[in-house]
A and B are shown apart, each in its own frame.
Chain A
Amino acid sequence: MSRVSKIRYFFEQSWLLIVASFIFGLLIAVTNASLDTRIKQNLKNKLNKLMKELISDANEFKIVADQAEIMGDKGKVVRTDIYQAFDANESSVGFAFEAVGAGFADKIKIVIAVDGKFERFFGFKVLSSSETPGFGSKIAEDDPASNEDLVDEFKDAPAGEVKLVRTGKRREDKSEANDDEIIAITGATVSSEAVVRIFNTYTEQVRAKLQEKGLIGNGR
């Protein structure tokens, strides 16, 4: 008798809680189901938009290496998708991939684009960063006031190991000797260094992965 009445008491006290939990759970499930595809599409759209900005001839992007494993900065394995860009004639115009590394404040996520033969960079775009506004954030912005643009520094840089320098010739005036030098942004040295480090960590490994798949030649 007392056991049954205990159970009855339990239900009397908590029936509202149980009913409410069901209703709320249902609400969440319904909202999630209806908005899920849209959310996933938003993420894809963002990546596609940035990749298109980098590789202007590209018509569509196809994943050629799904979740490729890259040995990251601190010895941790990171997974990234490597995309190949095709133009309207179905010929390859370049490759693009997400890269992530530690910045001044938190992680910096960028999209790196390389040309079809993996010889020169097209540049990079920042996906997300929380660098100090006004200082480190200059790696992403295109500040018309100053003529410093980190993205420009990477355009047409040779697809290999790059070096960060404090001063030097801008990309337009570069010669063979200092082609692989990237000039840091004033006031954003650590953030510029972080971007260079990300490039250096990822480039060779992505090249190796693509060579494995036979998508680019072995000769350099």
Chain B
Amino acid sequence: MDTVTALLLAFISIVLINNLVFTKFLGICPYLGVSGRIDMAFGMGLAVTFVVTLSGTLTWLIDNLILMPMHLEVTRYVCFILVIAGAVQLVEMYVRKFFPSLYKSFGIFLPLITTNCAILGLCLFINLWEIDSLIDAVVRSFGAGIGFTMAICIMAGIRENLNLADVPACLKGAPITLITAGLLTLAFMGFAGMIR
């Protein structure tokens, strides 16, 4: 029961408290680019969740089973990015072949995700936080994806309404999105310190 509570707390902490977009500044580029409409945002979020869970698990495995025992930590960054790129390729091929309808809804975002800082960032953070167990890494990766999806959907909802608002001409587009994101960050700060 204790492990389940710990995992649940880890999940909540990465979705709400240490949200990748709002506190760690990861995944901003797609966040700004794709959050125009809720359906696209949701598709992007799902794709990211899928890839990040897979990558988080794979990189944790490689790091703990191959790199650390063999003292090859210096090749960590190269290995991580190659694993992520490879995983994304495989996922794209697999989804295109076996789930064509799914491919239609979020397949186009998959190649973009390789350069999404959130994926590599999360793998590095899992390494930084010295996560010991595989299941903990999986839960946190999944949580990171869910957190990103939540953040991007909230932003999409707000932007759809912003289209009707009277935004000054110089602030239209990226500037007002960034300012909105800042205010959202402020709101989410209220969750800080919730979990020790």
Contact = CB atoms under 8 A, between A and B. Distances in A.
- Direct contact between A and B judged by beta carbons closer than 8 A: yes
Interface string B72-113: 001100100000000000000000000000000000000000
Given A28-B74, A28-B78, A105 B192 contact: yes
A161 B78 CA distance: 47
B192 A28 contact: no
Contact of B196 (A24, A28, A102): A102
Contacts of B78: 24, 28
A47 interface: no
Contacts of A68: none
Contacts of B75: 25, 28
By size class, the interface of chain A is 10 to 19
Contacts of B132: 76
A190 interface: yes
Nearest to A193: B196
B193 A190 contact: yes
Interface string B29-42: 00000000000000
B193 A32 contact: no
Contact of B193 (A28, A74, A104): A104
A150 B172 CA distance: 47
B196 A32 contact: no
Interface string A178-195: 000000000000100000
Interface of A: 24-25, 28-29, 32, 74, 76, 102, 104-105, 132, 190
Interface of B: 6, 74-75, 78, 132, 192-193, 196
15 contacts: A24-B78, A25-B75, A28-B74, A28-B75, A28-B78, A29-B74, A32-B74, A74-B6, A76-B132, A102-B196, A104-B192, A104-B193, A105-B192, A132-B192, A190-B193
Closest 5 CB pairs of A and B: A32-B74, A104-B193, A102-B196, A190-B193, A28-B74
